[in-house]
Amino acid sequence: MNNPIPLYSTADIREIEQLAAARPNPPNLMEKAGLAAAHITKNKLLSNDKSNLLVLAGPGNNGGDAFVTARYLRAWGFQVTTIFTGDPSKLSQDAKQALQNWLNAGGELHNDIPSSGSWHVIIDGLFGIGLNPDKYPLDEKYQRLIAAVNHMNLPVLALDIPSGLSADNGIAPSTAIKATITATFIGLKPGLLTHDGCEYAGEIILCDLDLDAVSMKSPQSWLLDQSLIKTLLPAPRPANSHKGIFGSVGIIGGASGMVGAALLAGSAALKLGAGRVYLGLLANQPSTVDPAQPELMLRPVDELFELDHLTCLIVGPGLGKEISACLCLEETLQTSLPVVLDADALNLIAHHSELASALRSRHAPSLLTPHAAEAARLLGTDIATVQNHRMQAAEDLARNFNCSVVLKGAGSICAFPNGHCYFNASGNPGLSSAGTGDVLSGMTGALLAQGLTSENALLLAVYLHGAAADALLETLAGPIGMTASEIIDSARHLLNQWVYGHHARFRYSHAYSIY
């Protein structure tokens, strides 16, 4: 089984670099980084008829990497134009050496993009992890340079991180290089995987520079990807099964005018494998059957609390903020069932300290699925603060409320009370439409009902939800106009594919042939 891929902050990477530098025969990491990037550029972006490169070298070690990359590509016969924006006397020893080697190899330097010249590929070595654009914004000169590069609309390979992007939190306050590929060194950085990072990083290729980072620094965050998900899947179902073994999900919500949200969560829970799904609706005179999904059992909300065989509860889809919603939430928090809290359940907790205390003191698992605005209300801050520090916000929510949390948005982040974080690699802008959050809560409930731990249910639901949307892109059912209902069907298809592969089909066709 593959180990999950770790993520490292800027401080972690610096610590790993220092440990490597303190070895008896320290590796030349800049040389390795530049060589790795040159190979990727040659193999993935260049060809015989696309052989002209523009290399941008900035004032620090990211610029040093750029000189090494430029030197190798020139030696391999490509036409390389290099611009350098720094001061040679202020370079580190390694970067000075890389610059000297470039000049010794016959390379030239420009101090701006030459007005005459045309290129096929650009290498971005302006800034790496040494840029903190939140605290020290890029000046106009760099903003202009980055805008000029993006305007050229050429394939770009970013060294370590697209320049302008923060490696730790994925924000690009002014602008950033829009990379086709980011060759990132030593370890993955959180900023590549969330918020603006999803816009700028392009394809991410990890170059470990022959360092075994995990043995040097134990990680607290990992990538939530397909290989991790494979280890979390529910077991294939026993042939001799009945609905009772796949759990019963109770969903509380659906106040007047918002019944659809609860129905969507219900369909998601049903189609992701819950044995039974009950909806406790708050609407006055709610319907007793959903003709589009008659398998759902619709009840007035009071009757839901009388059921004694529920496996978990989902509270929030279409819940509203009336006093009746508050009372239902209070009663839910007092149960000993695993609970998924979404939408207005989160807003009520943010506004009523006694509900927040009841949540904190629960012994059964609680899972929160806020988007940035809901997270901001729960943390008593504003949306920008959450979005500028997404990992911190997710961690704070998990710790403050003693819950498993997914902070939704581009690059959703799952955080747990033990401090562990996972950055989701799936998903696309098709998910930005009404009802997709209700679907995620229903999917999470279905997996809880089938016996997954709260951590595994949340991780699998978050990844599957994004992967279902990604699969819809392949059929052009999005991103424009992708609907929450389509995500449910796509997720069901994927989950069966992952759990059974071709095995299920073989089994049933064999059984059929003997009759």
Going by the annotation, the residues of the binding site for AMP are: 408-412, 437
**For ligand NAX, which residue of 12, 124, 160, 486 counts as binding (CB under 6 A)?**
160
Q: Which is nearer to ligand NAX, 176 or 343 (CB)?
A: 176
Helices 372-379 + 344-351 axis angle, to 10: 20
Residue 61 within binding range of K ion, rule CB under 5 A: no
- Distance in angstroms (rounded) separating the CA atoms of residues 415 and 8: 15
**For ligand NAX, which residue of 35, 36, 122, 131 counts as binding (CB under 6 A)?**
131
**For K ion, which residue of 154, 159, 368, 415 counts as binding (CB under 5 A)?**
159
Token pair for residue 204?
Answer: 């991410």
Look at residues 286, 290, 139 and name the one whose alpha carbon lies nearest to residue 277: 290
E strand segments, 160-219: 181-185, 203-207
DSSP state of 223: E
Return binding residues for K(+): 62, 124, 163
Return binding residues for (6S)-NADPHX: 61-65, 142, 160, 261, 318, 371, 438
Burial class (CB in 10 A: 0-12, 13-18, 19+), 329: buried
Within 121-140, which residues bind K ion (CB under 5 A)?
124
Q: What angle do CA 116, 119, 121 make, to 5 degrees?
A: 150
Q: Which is nearer to ligand NAX, 209 or 393 (CB)?
A: 209
Q: Which listed option, ligand NAX, K ion, none, makes contact with residue 61 (CB within 5 to 8 Å by class)?
A: ligand NAX
Residue 29 within binding range of ligand NAX, rule CB under 6 A: yes
- Per CB under 6 A, which region of 133-141, 252-260, 268-276, 501-509 contacts ligand NAX? 133-141
Residue 136 within binding range of ligand NAX, rule CB under 6 A: yes
DSSP state of 126: S
E strand segments, 226-380: 248-253, 276-281, 297-300, 312-315, 339-341, 366-368
- Distance of closest approach, residue 147 Cβ to ligand NAX, in angstroms: 15
Within 163-222, which residues bind ligand NAX (CB under 6 A)?
185
- Per CB under 5 A, which region of 31-39, 155-163, 298-306, 500-508 contacts K ion? 155-163
Q: Which is nearer to ligand NAX, 173 or 479 (CB)?
A: 173
Q: Which listed option, ligand NAX, K ion, none, makes contact with residue 185 (CB within 5 to 8 Å by class)?
A: ligand NAX
Diameter of the chain measured on Cα atoms: 84
Query: Three-state DSSP class for 183?
Result: strand
Query: Three-state DSSP class for 55?
Result: strand
Return binding residues: 61-65, 124, 142, 160, 163, 261, 318, 371, 408-412, 437-438
Q: Which listed option, K ion, ligand NAX, none, makes contact with residue 158 (CB within 5 to 8 Å by class)?
A: K ion
DSSP state of 188: B
Residue 130 within binding range of ligand NAX, rule CB under 6 A: yes
Q: Is the separation of the CB atoms in 488 and 471 below 8 Å?
A: no
Residue 17 within binding range of ligand NAX, rule CB under 6 A: yes
Token pair for residue 506?
Answer: 């073989």
Positions touching K ion (CB under 5 A) are 124, 158-159, 163
